[in-house]
Chain A
Amino acid sequence: GAVVSQHPSWVICKSGTSVKIECRSLDFQATTMFWYRQFPKQSLMLMATSNEGSKATYEQGVEKDKFLINHASLTLSTLTVTSAHPEDSSFYICSARARLAANSGANVLTFGAGSRLTVL
């Protein structure tokens, strides 16, 4: 099945530093990846849609200069949290759409394992 690898799984950083999170599709090509953010006991909030070879599409209220997304290849998207602050501490999850089955036209989201960011 489709596998999405996300790294690092957890990171602790000082306020003001930048953190990069990588999302890779291991056995399929992902022209589109999605970045979500999840606070404790809350659902996933879509931050942006990452498109290979073009600019990301950000959701309303998400600062594009704060959360830099780069989708340089068909298997890799990165999210960089710039000048991180404690309020940026959260669980960040990437996902890519993959075909449900070989003979199916349906696409489902396959998620990475998530990256837990703690900003001190």
Chain B
Amino acid sequence: GQNIDQPTEMTATEGAIVQINCTYQTSGFNGLFWYQQHAGEAPTFLSYNVLDGLEEKGRFSSFLSRSKGYSYLLLKELQMKDSASYLCAVRESGGGFKTIFGAGTRLFVKA
């Protein structure tokens, strides 16, 4: 079966660092994605991992361990505008590019 787990909510302070974890069990794997979604808006792409290790992109970093079925998104120097839902998504293997999303983690950044 397919299962993507991530915490429902997290709260962090402006300027701090927060790590959002994601574990997955899917039928095949062809990449893990993190998307940011503000309320009432469409998701926007943040990061992509297909090999093990850390991908850094400015204030955002994402880590992947395929053997553990685990990823995390690291946000540094938090800003108020980072308050949003963060969606972990796994693309299944095969040519269909079918992507399954986790339930999302709602991050609240407080002053």
A binding-site residues for B, Cβ under 8 Å: 6, 32, 34, 36, 41-46, 49, 57, 91, 93, 97, 100, 106-114, 116
Q: Roughly how many angstroms separate A49 CA and B104 CA in the complex, as a whole number?
A: 21
Please judge, given known A-B contacts A93-B42, A114-B41, whether A44 and B87 are in contact too, CB under 8 Å: yes
**Would B99 and A32 count as touching, CB distance under 8 A?**
no
With beta carbons under 8 angstroms apart, the residue of B40, B41, B44, B101 that contacts A43 is B101
B binding-site residues for A, Cβ under 8 Å: 31, 33, 35, 40-45, 48, 50, 87, 89, 96-104, 106
Q: Chain B residue with minimal CB distance to A108?
A: B45
**Would A110 and B97 count as touching, CB distance under 8 A?**
no
Main secondary structure of the interface of A (DSSP, over half): strand
CB proximity of B105 to chain A, nearest CB, Å: 10
**Would B42 and A112 count as touching, CB distance under 8 A?**
yes
Q: Chain A residue with minimal CB distance to B45?
A: A108
A-B contact pairs, 5 of them (CB 8 A): A36-B101, A44-B87, A49-B98, A106-B31, A111-B43
Please indicate the chain A residues that have their CB under 8 angstroms from the CB of B101 in the complex: 36, 43-46
**Would A107 and B97 count as touching, CB distance under 8 A?**
yes
**Would B102 and A43 count as touching, CB distance under 8 A?**
yes
Q: Roughly how many angstroms separate A49 CA and B48 CA in the complex, as a whole number?
A: 21
